[in-house]
Chains A and B, each alone.
Chain A
Amino acid sequence: MEELMSKKGDLPDLRVNIGSLELANPVMTASGTFGYAREFENLMDLHRLGAVIVKGISLNPRAGNPPPRIVETACGMLNAIGLQNVGVERFISEKMKYLAGLNIPVIVNILGDSLAEYEEITDRLAGVPGVAGIEVNISCPNVKKGGVAFGTDPAMAAAVTAAVKSKADVPVMVKLSPNVSDITVIARAVEDAGADSLSLINTLIGMAIDLKTRRPVLANVIGGLSGPAIKPVALRMVYEVARVVSLPVIGIGGIESAEDALEFMMAGATAVQIGTANFVNPRASEEVIDGIREYAAAEKLPSIRSMIGCLHRS
């Protein structure tokens, strides 16, 4: 493999490292947009993914919010799924075996209502075969208690990070909320608390109103905005955060194409996550990988790693 990669010509080196986690390429699937991966097995080649991040897992199963849960908006969509998931026990017993068999890094997104819950889920995931990393959701805007407070307060964000780190036996990635006045403050606090990497951004809180019923479209009233509409905001935040932390940063927000992904890498992202685009095109992540490879080949880059944060070096 090493030999193949280093050969001149048509196989640029797409490998990136997120701390101790080595990815074959910088493209992952974002939590909540890719189910537990199996949903996509007939639609794309899962083995090609840099990593898969599975639907957020809580200690106990969650039913999620009443419908309507989603609404399309200009160049994007709002969702208020409400963190529906099978809970950590069923995740381990029903989903993890398949995921482990994919032979790609599996990063488990976790969420909780209290520090104790975050700790308990992490503890439960420790030693589970196939779990390569944990992504901590401190930013989901949909559940009334918990999520919002953790992600928007530097001390609480740091406390969750430290709690998860105290139990984790794999690298910990903390997913930041954009719904703050200065994301770099949160990023620094999370770095100081021991996070191994940062992923950003989660959805931006928004709403939509139905003129006929004169009511909010979403039963939850507010929801998280995702899709191409949020890309410029996400890009700016990645740029800002990459400038002030020394941790690897993973870019998320409206990425649909290799061009989008490369912009994030230039702004400082070591890797990217494909989210909403998976809904529109189940092969989106594979196409992004292909596009990055083509770009690297066309630009004669020995390694895609030279693109990471190149904006900050010029």
Chain B
Amino acid sequence: MSQYQEKATVTRVEQFSAKNYRLTLDSPQIAGSAKPGQFVMIRAGFGKDPLLRRPFSIHQVVGEKQIQVYFKVVGRGTDILAHARPGEILSVFGPLGRGYRLAAASPAVIVGGGLGIAPLLFLVKEICHLKKDCSQNLIILGAREKIEIEPLLDDFRQFGFKILTATDDGSFGHHGVVTEVMASMQLPAGCTVYSCGPEPMMAGVSALCKARNIPCQVSVESVMACGMGACLGCSRPAKDGAYTHVCLNGPVYNAEDLLWKN
């Protein structure tokens, strides 16, 4: 598996809401080898503070040479990246980790929450490439409010999957959370669930899938310093009680392999 440290040029900065941004980067080597669910580590600047790279899932590969990351400003690192200008150079390292394992024969149910929507666009695109008929596939997107979903909808719509939404404030789609949407409906027979979102959401999705005997893959988040197995900072309890490392063994796991807090 090849990984690259690229000096990527920022080509586009989009602001979708007060704190949500999308960066487009010229990163041909990473774009050429990335798989859905994999991530990159990006340096916010080149100085000593902030020191560490920040992990971002790959939102999508655009054309053959560009990647996008979609993120929320949560601290200094993301704030610096949100203020990047087109033409600026960023150090990007990737693609890293194990992505989603696509089950080509099985209808896809894609469940995303909040910033967890980020890697799912790339996934949907790839599933669409694999399948002839996408009408059976379903996307369920959840967030706190409409503004966190709506700007991305056109990108998702182009693949012809059925899309359902849920918001905490009821401003867009179901008033509530994505697991309620899932629980209220009959999912396509023989489907595979692919999920990414906040921990409680994925714990819920995982539990629901387990109860219905549906295979479920989740992409989890962790703090990490290196992203490639050297620092051992991104430990997470696995089902067997041992620690798994999100950067190497994840970020995508079979939900049943992880230990979930209920």
Structural contact, A75 and B235, CB atoms closer than 8 A: no
Give the distance in Å from the alpha carbon of A227 to the alpha carbon of B3 in the complex.
Answer: 24
Give the distance in Å from the alpha carbon of A74 to the alpha carbon of B5 in the complex.
Answer: 24
Structural contact, B49 and A74, CB atoms closer than 8 A: yes
Structural contact, B5 and A282, CB atoms closer than 8 A: yes
Majority-rule SS of A interface residues:
loop
Structural contact, A66 and B235, CB atoms closer than 8 A: yes
Task: Specify which chain A residues have a CB less than 8 angstroms from the CB of B49 in the assembled complex.
Answer: 74-75
Interface residue B93 (Cβ < 8 Å from any Cβ of A): yes
CB distance from A60 to the nearest CB of B (A): 14
Give the distance in Å from the alpha carbon of A69 to the alpha carbon of B231 in the complex.
Answer: 10
Task: Specify which chain B residues have a CB less than 8 angstroms from the CB of A63 in the assembled complex.
Answer: 242-243
Residue of B nearest to A72 (CB): B52
Majority-rule SS of B interface residues:
loop
With an 8 Å Cβ cutoff, the count of chain A residues facing the other chain is 35
User: What per-residue 1/0 map shows which CB atoms of B1-37 lie under 8 Å from chain A?
Assistant: 0110100000000000000000000000000000000
Give the distance in Å from the alpha carbon of A33 to the alpha carbon of B228 in the complex.
Answer: 11
Name A225-252 residues within 8 Å CB distance of B: 227-228
Chain B interface size, under 10 / 10 to 19 / 20 to 34 / 35 or more:
20 to 34
- Choose among A35, A67, A283 the residue that contacts B229 (Cβ–Cβ < 8 A): A35
Name A147-195 residues within 8 Å CB distance of B: none
Interface residue B237 (Cβ < 8 Å from any Cβ of A): yes
Q: Which stretch (A7-15, A36-44, A104-112, A123-131) binds chain B?
A: A36-44
Give the distance in Å from the alpha carbon of A228 to the alpha carbon of B51 in the complex.
Answer: 9
Q: Which are the 6 A-B pairs with shortest beta-carbon distances?
A: A70-B233, A279-B226, A279-B225, A228-B48, A35-B230, A75-B48
Beyond A69-B234, A70-B231, A279-B52, list 12 extra A-B contacts (CB 8 Å): A39-B228, A67-B235, A69-B233, A75-B48, A76-B51, A77-B51, A81-B232, A84-B232, A280-B51, A280-B52, A282-B5, A282-B226
